[in-house]
Structure 1
């Protein structure tokens, strides 16, 4: 069994990816300092898979602690690096924190790769690197534009750091995955999105509003150049996204990549506006939402959705769950996590 380090393994995407990795035969351990997650995720992973996962509660910015963990684990065959701060709005008001955490965490991971000869790395990037693209859907060759937030800029810089690393250290291979908008929950209802900090992503805001945790929700702007004036995004089910990571590992381990870095968009290939997402939730669950229209939010891109052809062709990856499934599973998780 190949041993994989998942950083941020107790977070939303990390925990769902660990489930998919275990079910695909990988040996996994996690590093997560619980800055926006909790140890409950480890119990959820065990409940779904029957496997107990070891997590090391350290901060990746502490290089000595990171090295101690990897030395203790022995041979590590690959890294999936999720650990990063990710709230667009929060990054606008705390840019230094985002640069410190997201850049220094990556730099230490790269140092660990060198020191312990860990050959493969899948990096968690974002469609936010495209900025307000001139043409949609975006492909992997679409030029990145001026970042709309410090969070997005950290992802652009991290991608550049990895490019420079591979020039100097050519024995390592990377896959960069540009996520679109992960949402939904595991179909078992045992795991889903449950941030420790206040939810900022649209779908948990919707489910929290429907459950009554929020009196109402705000739509940030209705005057954008989209079908209905609200921002447009590509919402991908978290388990479809999780499986893309497993396929990327197999792609690297089976020596199918001829490049130092492969880049893939991971999205459904179609866009949904905020108002359409609300309509999909109401249709899927029968719950009506209270919402109001507010001003535009600093850092938001107008519209972005993926061209997914490259991932389909090279990885054999195909998203299988639509916006209705996203909303149904997210709502089932909201109900269960509050019992």
Structure 2
């Protein structure tokens, strides 16, 4: 049984990935500082899988604590690194927080991974590394444009740090998974997206508005050069995304990678506008949503959806769940935590 470290493992994507790892028989250790998560998530993971992962509350910006952790856990075979601040709009307002948190935590973790007997590293990257891509769908060969936000820039820089480190450390094997827009919740409704404070992402804002926690949903911009004037994104079910991490990890553990740094788009290949997501929610939930149009939000690109052939062919991974599935599961989760 291989031991895998998941940083940010009580967060939205991290918790779903822990579930999939445990379902595949891995021993999981979680590091999470609870800055954007809750210890209750650990109970949800345990309830779903019947196993409680090891958990340590560590701030990965504290270099000495990171070193101490790895001294205790020298038998780790792989690290999946989620721990990061993740909101595009917030990053524009708080750039130094994003650079400090997202880059220092990566550097301190990566330095320790190099010293392990098995140096396998999965990086939680993002389609924001492409900036506003010139062509849709976006392939992994698309030129990297200037980042539209500090968040996107931390993902660009993060990949560069990993590539440079892999170049001089051939024993290090890394895969960057460039997610598009993760949404939804586990079908059990025992874990899901649980933003602290006002949601920064579309779907939890939709479900919180429908649940009565928010008065109104603001749609940022209805004058984009798209069919209905709103931004287009590739919304992927978080369970599909979590499974991609397990497949990528197994690729490294089995020595199937063809270079020691690889990158893959993880999305559905289908672009949906903000209004289409709203209409999907109204259809699957059977209730209307109160929303208004607001000015464009700095940092948002017009359109981003994935070309997924590389992940489909090389990883043998494909998204199977639909937008309807994701929205329905997100609403099921929201109703469960609000006792609706």
Q: Does 1:287 align with 2:287?
A: yes
Q: Secondary structure at the match of 1:319?
A: coil
Q: What's the offset of the Cα at 1:63?
A: 1.5
Q: Is the 8 A contact 1:180 1:234 kept in 2?
A: yes
Shift of 1:196: 1.8
How is 1:250-289 mapped onto 2 (pairs within 5 angstroms)?
Answer: 250-289=250-289
CA shift, 1:167, in A, is 1.1
> Contact 1:36/1:197 (CA < 8 Å) preserved in 2?
no
Could you say which residue in structure 1 is the equivalent of 2:317?
317
**Offset from partner CA, 1:215-239 (integer Å, 9 cap, x none):** 1110000000111000000000000
Matched residues in 1 for 2:256 and 2:116: separation? 23
Number of residue pairs matched?
Answer: 339
Query: 1:91 aligns to what SS in structure 2?
Result: helix
Separation (CA, whole Å) in 1 of partners of 2:245 and 2:13:
10
1:120 and 2:120 aligned: yes
Matched, 1:227 2:214: no
Q: Give the Cα separation in 1 of the matches to 2:60 and 2:118.
A: 16
Q: Secondary structure at the match of 2:303?
A: coil
Q: Distance in 2 between matches of 1:252 and 1:114?
A: 14
CA deviation vs aligned residue, 1:173-225 (integer Å, no higher than 9, x gap) = 10000000000000011111012232111000000000010111100000001
Is the aligned partner of 1:28 residue 2:1? Answer: no
Secondary structure at 1:116 match in 2 = coil
Aligned mates of 2:109, 2:198 — CA distance in 1: 28
Whole-angstrom distance in 1 between the partners of 2:284 and 2:90 = 30
CA contact (8 A) 2:231 2:302 kept: yes
1:180–1:233: 8 Å Cα contact kept in structure 2? Answer: yes
The CA distance in 1 between the partners of 2:248 and 2:269, in whole Å, is: 19
Q: CA deviation at 1:74?
A: 3.4
Residue aligning to 1:95? 95
Shift of 1:118: 4.0
Structure 1 segments unaligned to the other structure (5+ residues): none
**2:48 aligned residue:** 48
How far does the alpha carbon of each residue in 1:293-325 deviate from its partner, in whole angstroms, 9 at most, with x for none? 000001101100000001110111011111101
Q: Which runs of 5+ in 2 are unaligned?
A: none
2:114 touches 2:171 (CA, 8 Å); kept in 1?
A: no
Given the two structures, how large is their TM-score scaled by the length of structure 2?
0.98
Match of 2:336 in 1: 336
Say whether residues 1:217 and 2:214 are aligned partners. Answer: no
How far residue 55 of structure 1 moved from its aligned partner, in angstroms, is 1.4
The match for 1:5 is 5
For residue 297 of structure 1, what is the aligned residue in structure 2?
A: 297
1:79–1:118 Cα contact (<8 Å) kept? no
Cα-Cα RMSD: 0.8
Kindly provide the CA deviation profile for residues 97-129 of structure 1, in whole angstroms up to 9, marking residues without a partner as x.
100011111100111112334410000000011
